[in-house]
Structure 1
Amino acid sequence: MNDEAAKPQPVLTIAIAASAKADHASLRERLATAGMLNQPDIEVCVALLGDQDMDAPEDNLAVFRFSSRTPFFEQYAGIIQQTHSRYIALLDASCPPAQGWLPAVRKRMDDGTPVFFGPVNSGWPDKDSRNIGYLIEYAQFRAPIDPELPEYPGNNIAFQRELLRNVSLVGKGFQKTFFLRQAKEELGITPTACDDMPVTYLKQYARSYYLRRRYCHGRLYGASHSEVLGPRRFLYAAGILILPILRYSRILRASKRTPTLSRKVLRFSVSILVSECAWSLGECAGYIAGTPEDGIFLD
C-alpha cells in the first residue's frame, strides 16, 4: 500500500503568509516554542517570497514558494488550493502564534466552532517606535477582545474549510476579513472571539516602507468600494480633508481600554496622523483611479 495514500489528512492547515521583510528564522523558532512542529495531525504551511529561505526538516512544516511581489491573499489562496484539511487558520509570518494558541484552536475544532479568531498583542516594549504599526492596525484587538467589536483581525483567524463552498475567501477587491463578514451576513455565522489564542505582533517599522504600504491599503479599500458607491464615490473622495482626523480618533478610542495603550497612542500621535494621511490619500485615489499596481504591499 502507498504510504502517502494511507496517511490521514491533517485536521488543520496553518497558512502563514509572508512579506518581503519577514524573518523566517525567528518564525521557525517561535513555531517550535508554541509547540506547533512535529504535530502529525496539523500541517504548517509557510510562504516564501523570491529568494527567501527557511530550514524546514519537521514532518508537518512545508514551504510554498511565490514570486517576490505576491500579495497575502494570493499566498493564502495558493496554500489553501493545495491542502485538504478540515480546518484552516490564517496567520502572518511577522505575527507568530504565542504559547497556548494551538491548544485553544484544538478545543474550538473539537467543539465544532465554524469560525473563530484571537487577539493580537504587541511584542515590542512600550516606548519602541515599532509599536506604531501595531497601534494603527491592531490596538483594538489587544487581549481581552471587546465582545462588542464589529471587526476582526486578519492575521489570526480559523474556520472550517467547507465554508469556502458558500463564501469566497479571495476575489476582486479582497480584504482579509471580508470573508468573516460574508460568513456572518450570508450564512448567519458570528465569528467567535477566543482570548486564549493570541498572536504576537513583531513587525518591523520602516517609515517610508510603511507609509507606502498604508497608501496601497487605503487605495485598495477605496477601489473595492467604488463600484458599490457609484457616483457617490467622488463625495467620499472629498472626505480626505477630514478622514485622517476621523481615523486617528478611532485609534484613540480603541486605546482607551487600557492606560498603557493610551499612553502609546499619545506618544506616537504625530507618526500615527502622518500614516492616516497616507491611507486617506490612497483611499481617495482608489475611489477615482482604482486598485494599486504594487501587490507587494497588499498584506
Structure 2
Amino acid sequence: MSCLALAIAVKGEWDVVQLVDELRLAGVPINAEVHIACDPQFVPANPPQSLSIHCAPGASLFELWGLAISASTASWVAVLHADAPPAPGWFAAMTREIEREGWSDGYWGPVEPRPRISSDRMLGYLTEYCQFHRPLESGLREVPGSNLILPRERFGESKTFSKTSLLQEGLSPRFVEDAAALYARRNRFGEYCRRRFRHARAYAATRSPRISLLQAVPLSIALPFVRTGRVLRHAFRLKKLRGAGLRLLPAIFLAETCWSAGEFIGYLTRRPGNLAALD
C-alpha cells in the first residue's frame, strides 16, 4: 500500500471508467488508496474494487472532500477533483518528493488545461486556474484548491476541506513542477455564472476579517475590472492561452461580474446561501 492516498471529490455526473483510466495513466498503482466522494444519485452501479466510493446527501464540494479525506488512512493525502485528474507522471513526481524530503506543509502541482479543451471548459480554466500554468509567474503566492498534497494530520478534525483556512493558519506547501493536473470541467455559461455568484457569496459571508459596507460598495464595483485584468495578465504570459483569453473576454468579464455581485451580497447579508450547492 502506498503512503499516498487520493481524496477525489465531484458534484454532479462523472464517468468512473474514464477517471480510472486517467488515474492509471498518471501512474497511480492499482493497490493505492483512492477515495471518491460524490452525490448519492451519481454513485456508479458497479465501481471497480480499486476505488472506495463515499456519498452524502446535500453535501457541498468541500464537504465531499472532507468526507474523502476522513476516510483515508495513508500518511499523506492528495486533494483532487474528478474533472481535473492528474497527468501522466504525477504519482511518481509526488511520491518522489514525499520520500526525498517529506515537507511538513505538503506540496502542490500545476493545473493546466487538457489538450484541445473546448471553449466552455476553457472559460472555467482561465478564470480560476490559469495562474497555475507552467512556467509560474515569479512571486506567485496562490495555491490551487485541488492538486494539493498534505500530511494526513495537517487536515485536522474538520469535516470540511478549506484551503483558505489552511493558508490562514500558515500553510506553505512547496511546488512540484512535474506533478500537473489537467483541467477539463464542462461549464454551461449560465450555470457557470451562477456558480461564481454562489462561491463568491459564501466566501464574502464567512470572510475574516470582515469589511464594512463602505468598503464593500466600491470594491464590488471595481472588482470585475480588476479580476478580468488579472486573468488576462496571466493568460498573456503564455502564447497558447492568449487567443482564448481574447476570444472569451466578454464571457470572462460577465463571470467576474457575477463573482463581484456574489461578494457584495455576502458582505451585505452575512449569509453564505445554500452551501450544499457549492460545487
Q: Same fold (TM over 0.5)?
A: yes
Residue of structure 1 equivalent to 2:34: 44
Correspondent of 1:287 among 262, 267, 274: 267
For 1:18 and 1:126, how far apart are their aligned partners in 2?
19
Residue of structure 2 equivalent to 1:182: 169
Report deviation, 1:182.
Answer: 2.1
For 2:111 and 2:10, how far apart are their aligned partners in 1?
17
Residue of structure 1 equivalent to 2:91: 102
Residue of structure 2 equivalent to 1:274: 254
For 1:253 and 1:84, how far apart are their aligned partners in 2?
41
Residue of structure 1 equivalent to 2:153: 162
For 1:268 and 1:84, how far apart are their aligned partners in 2?
43
Residue of structure 2 equivalent to 1:240: 220
Q: What is the DSSP-based 3-state SS (H/G/I as helix, E as strand, rest coil) of the residue aligned with 1:154?
A: coil
Report deviation, 1:164.
Answer: 3.4
CA deviations 1:207-240 (Å, max 9, x no partner) are 1211110000110121122x5225x244223422
> Aligned pair in 2 of structure 1 residues 182, 276: CA closer, same or farther (>3 Å)?
same
Report deviation, 1:293.
Answer: 2.9
Residue of structure 2 equivalent to 1:229: 210
Correspondent of 1:208 among 190, 193, 208: 190
CA deviations 1:158-184 (Å, max 9, x no partner) are 01112235xx7666xx74343134233
Correspondent of 2:229 among 226, 249, 258: 249
Report deviation, 1:276.
Answer: 0.5
Q: What is the DSSP-based 3-state SS (H/G/I as helix, E as strand, rest coil) of the residue aligned with 1:36?
A: coil
Is the counterpart of residue 146 in structure 1 residue 137 in structure 2? yes
> Aligned pair in 2 of structure 1 residues 33, 82: CA closer, same or farther (>3 Å)?
same
Q: What is the DSSP-based 3-state SS (H/G/I as helix, E as strand, rest coil) of the residue aligned with 1:242?
A: helix
State the TM-score, normalized to the length of structure 2.
0.90
Any stretches of 5+ residues in structure 1 without a counterpart?
Answer: 1-8, 185-189
Any stretches of 5+ residues in structure 2 without a counterpart?
Answer: none
Whether contact under 8 Å (1:126, 1:264) holds in the other structure is: no
For 1:198 and 1:136, how far apart are their aligned partners in 2?
18
Residue of structure 2 equivalent to 1:3: none
> Aligned pair in 2 of structure 1 residues 127, 50: CA closer, same or farther (>3 Å)?
closer
Report deviation, 1:139.
Answer: 0.5
The code of the aligned residue for 2:94 comes to V
> Aligned pair in 2 of structure 1 residues 290, 24: CA closer, same or farther (>3 Å)?
farther
> Aligned pair in 2 of structure 1 residues 151, 250: CA closer, same or farther (>3 Å)?
same
Report deviation, 1:294.
Answer: 2.5
Is the counterpart of residue 73 in structure 1 residue 62 in structure 2? yes
Q: CA-atom RMSD, angstroms? A: 2.2
Is the counterpart of residue 219 in structure 1 residue 201 in structure 2? yes
Report deviation, 1:78.
Answer: 1.6
The code of the aligned residue for 2:233 comes to R
CA deviations 1:111-146 (Å, max 9, x no partner) are 212211001110152663320110000000112333
Report deviation, 1:26.
Answer: 2.0
The code of the aligned residue for 2:62 comes to F
> Aligned pair in 2 of structure 1 residues 133, 124: CA closer, same or farther (>3 Å)?
farther
Structure with max Cα Rg: 1
CA deviations 1:165-207 (Å, max 9, x no partner) are 5xx7666xx74343134233xxxxx311111000110100101
Is the counterpart of residue 116 in structure 1 residue 116 in structure 2? no
For 2:167 and 2:197, how far apart are their aligned partners in 1?
24
Q: What is the total number of aligned residue pairs between the two structures?
A: 276
Whether contact under 8 Å (1:147, 1:193) holds in the other structure is: no
Correspondent of 1:26 among 4, 13, 18: 18
State the TM-score, normalized to the length of structure 1.
0.85
Whether contact under 8 Å (1:24, 1:93) holds in the other structure is: no
CA deviations 1:71-126 (Å, max 9, x no partner) are 12211222222332110110001101111010011111102122110011101526
